[in-house]
């Protein structure tokens, strides 16, 4: 078949590789000047480095993403150390292990700053949450994650220590506005995957920049498999004829014919592309319910070490905003001969994103100084700020089931992208699982 893929993010690149592996003739159309979508590195000549647009972490259950890395030959660049850190204001550090004794301590409610009877209440509430994730109460999509926490009796201290951060990390949004069904579904998926893959739930990270991990290796694979890549080729709409896909029309009017098309653009770019698809109004309505969440990432090059004890540390007490610090020396084996590189991520950064570069840098340095005594005298050599107002999408209560399937009513046309229906939310794994499903649809 002659196949067209619209969008060169993870969903589009994985679709292209997997269709080409089956012997089909594939052309990938990307609107921007380069591939990678939301997973890219941005070179910084001032410090001769290539930091990412934002730290991307992996879950051990990311089956399709790891399969994609196998296809492009970079799986060896992902590491699952089995632990992360929690950092208190003033500098106290506590390591969180995902399995073994460390995991047991968490299950028993032994979280930072959770004391006395609250430990017991936390253990009981956590057990209830996991039970309800598997056998979900009928109204879980009608309440927020915060209301769910209250219902199962999770103490405020446990929320502050871990659970608010987990919800922001998983759903992209604050517990007070995110549907409780989103984290519940993810807990269920995580547990199912852990059993199926016989791997305890764990968080990992790439040991190289995102261009090396995803983009350069995909480009090499495209050359090997004969995939044609056209950048600066924005698609205006998908062309449909008599219930069958005919190809696409580019913004400049060029028409390209094809036997099948996979549309793998972001949720906020899909409007207009599918006007000729009979169910386009339903898809566009669904799209409106997936609201964009901002992430601000700051790549800080400092004149000294700040004394992190783990590769990634969550800052205690984010008050509904997840704040994390990443040690690129540890993660990438980076030599700190001229500068020390730490990156910070603030998810659900509705307020921070409005700041100027200087304000954001000052604010992040103030945070580091509060949590890391060794950062008090640190000087910023270079600061690189990545504001992404459209980073991930959030699902508010009442939106369960709105994400469209990959299959459309048009023969030869499938949808892909992290926003289409998968076992995951807005993640790299969601993007790759959607690609696998879209490829299956067009092959069928």
Ligand X SMILES: Cc1cc2nc3c(=O)[nH]c(=O)nc-3n(C[C@H](O)[C@H](O)[C@H](O)COP(=O)(O)OP(=O)(O)OC[C@H]3O[C@@H](n4cnc5c(N)ncnc54)[C@H](O)[C@@H]3O)c2cc1C
- Return d(Cα 46, Cα 384) in angstroms, integer: 10
Among 264, 315, 348, 436, binds ligand X (CB under 6 A): 264
User: d(Cα 280, Cα 289) in Å, to the nearest integer?
Assistant: 15
Point out which span in 307-315, 353-361, 404-412, 424-432 binds ligand X (CB under 6 A): 424-432
> Which CB sits closer to ligand X, 132 or 202?
202
Near ligand X by CB under 6 A: residue from 3, 4, 5, 6: 6
Is 39 a binding residue for ligand X by CB under 6 A? The answer is yes
- Residue 87 engages ligand X in binding (rule: CB under 6 A): no
399/425 with CB nearer ligand X: 425
Regarding 235 and contact with ligand X (CB under 6 A), the answer is yes
| Residue 349 CB coordination number (10 Å) | 23
Q: Which stretch binds ligand X (CB under 6 A): 238-246, 283-291, 327-335, 386-394?
A: 386-394
Residues in CB range of 158: below 8 A, 6 or more apart = 109, 111, 114, 118, 121, 122, 125, 126
Question: Does 391 participate in binding ligand X (rule CB under 6 A)?
Answer: yes
The torsion defined by the Cα of 109, 112, 116 and 117, in degrees rounded to 10, comes to: -40
Residue linked to tokens 């169910």: 279
Which tokens sit at 423?
């076992």
Does the footprint of ligand X cover residue 313 (CB under 6 A)?
no
Tokens matching residue 303? 């004149």
Q: Which of 3, 4, 5, 9 is the binder for ligand X (CB under 6 A)?
A: 9
The answer to the question of residue 427 lying near ligand X (CB under 6 A) is yes
Q: Which of 181, 120, 170 is nearest to 148 (CA)?
A: 181
Cα(360)–Cα(352) distance, rounded to whole angstroms?
Answer: 7
* Site size toward ligand X, by CB under 6 A: 38
* Segment interacting with ligand X, rule: CB under 6 A, options 49-57, 97-105, 140-148, 280-288: 49-57
One residue of 145, 431, 439, 441 binding ligand X per CB under 6 A: 431
CB 324 within 8 A of CB 315: yes
| Partners of residue 134 on adjacent β-strands | none
Q: Is 78 within 8 Å of 205 (Cβ atoms)?
A: yes
Q: Which is nearer to ligand X, 163 or 419 (CB)?
A: 419
Backbone angles phi, psi at 377, to 5 degrees: -100, 5
Tracing tokens 């599918």 back to the chain, one arrives at 274
Using a 10 angstrom Cβ sphere, with 0-12 exposed, 13-18 middle and 19 or more buried, the burial of residue 412 is: buried
For residue 226, the minimal CB distance to ligand X (Å) is 20
Interface with ligand X, residue 389, by CB under 6 A: no
Residue 206 within binding range of ligand X, rule CB under 6 A: no
Q: Which residue among 3, 5, 12, 213 contacts ligand X (CB under 6 A)?
A: 12
Q: Are 42 and 50 in contact (CB under 8 A)?
A: yes
Q: Does 11 bind ligand X (CB under 6 A)?
A: yes
Near ligand X by CB under 6 A, which window of 35-43, 113-121, 123-131, 394-402?
Answer: 35-43
Work out whether 269 is an interface residue with ligand X (CB under 6 A).
yes
Q: How far apart are CA 250 and CA 52, in angstroms?
A: 30
Instruction: With contacts defined by CB under 6 A, name the span among 173-181, 262-270, 279-287, 324-332 that binds ligand X.
Output: 262-270
CA distance 63 to 195: 13
By beta-carbon proximity to ligand X, the closer residue of 126 and 347 is 347
Applying CB under 6 A, does 57 fall inside the site for ligand X? yes
List, in sequence order, every residue forming a beta bridge with 241; answer none if it has no partner.
Answer: 244
Segment contacting ligand X (CB under 6 A): 23-31, 150-158, 319-327, 375-383? Answer: 23-31
Least CB distance to ligand X at residue 128 (A): 27
Enumerate residues 6+ apart whose C-beta is below 8 A from 216.
none
Cα 145 from Cα 181, distance rounded (Å): 8
| Residue closer to ligand X (CB basis): 184 or 267 | 267
Site string for ligand X, 273-302 (x = CB under 6 A): x---------------------x-x-----
Site residues, ligand X (CB under 6 A):
6-12, 29-32, 37-39, 53-54, 56-57, 234-235, 264-266, 269, 273, 295, 297, 388, 391-392, 417-418, 426-431
């Amino acid at each position: 078949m002659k196949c067209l893929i619209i969008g060169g993010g993870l969903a589009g690149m994985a679709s292209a590789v997997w269709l080409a592996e089956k012997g089909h003739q594939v052309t990938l159309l990307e609107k921007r000047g380069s591939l990678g979508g939301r997973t890219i590195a941005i070179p910084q000549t001032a410090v001769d480095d290539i930091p990412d647009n934002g730290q991307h972490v992996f879950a051990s259950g990311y089956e399709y993403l790891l399969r994609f890395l196998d296809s492009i030959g970079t799986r060896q660049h992902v590491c699952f150390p089995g632990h992360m850190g929690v950092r208190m204001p003033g500098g106290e550090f506590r390591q969180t292990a995902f399995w073994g004794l460390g995991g047991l301590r968490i299950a028993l409610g032994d979280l930072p700053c959770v004391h006395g009877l609250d430990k017991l209440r936390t253990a009981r509430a956590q057990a209830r949450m996991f039970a309800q994730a598997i056998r979900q109460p009928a109204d879980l999509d009608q309440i927020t994650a915060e209301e769910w926490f209250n219902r199962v009796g999770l103490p405020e201290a446990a929320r502050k220590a871990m659970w608010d951060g987990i919800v922001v990390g998983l759903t992209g949004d604050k517990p007070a506005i995110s549907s409780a069904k989103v984290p519940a579904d993810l807990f269920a998926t995580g547990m199912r995957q852990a059993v199926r893959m016989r791997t305890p739930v764990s968080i990992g990270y790439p040991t190289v920049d995102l261009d090396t991990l995803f983009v350069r290796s995909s480009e090499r694979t495209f050359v090997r498999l004969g995939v044609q890549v056209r950048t600066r080729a924005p698609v205006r709409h998908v062309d449909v004829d008599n219930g069958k896909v005919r190809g696409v029309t580019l913004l400049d009017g060029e028409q390209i014919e094809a036997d099948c098309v996979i549309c793998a653009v972001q949720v906020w770019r899909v409007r207009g592309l599918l006007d000729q698809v009979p169910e386009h109004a339903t898809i566009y309505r669904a799209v409106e319910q997936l609201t964009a969440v901002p992430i601000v990432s700051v790549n800080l090059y400092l004149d000294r070490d700040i004394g992190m004890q783990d590769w990634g540390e969550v800052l205690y007490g984010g008050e509904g905003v997840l704040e994390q610090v990443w040690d690129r020396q540890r993660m990438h084996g980076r030599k700190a001969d001229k500068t020390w590189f730490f990156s910070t991520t603030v998810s659900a950064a509705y307020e921070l994103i409005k700041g100027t570069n200087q304000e954001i840098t000052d604010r992040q340095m103030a945070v580091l100084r509060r949590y890391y005594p060794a950062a008090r005298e640190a000087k910023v050599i270079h600061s690189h700020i990545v504001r992404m107002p459209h980073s991930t999408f959030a699902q508010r209560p009442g939106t369960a089931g709105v994400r469209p399937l990959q299959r459309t009513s048009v023969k030869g046309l499938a949808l892909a992208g992290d926003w289409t229906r998968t076992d995951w939310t807005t993640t790299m794994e969601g993007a790759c699982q959607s690609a696998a499903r879209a490829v299956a649809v067009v092959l069928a």
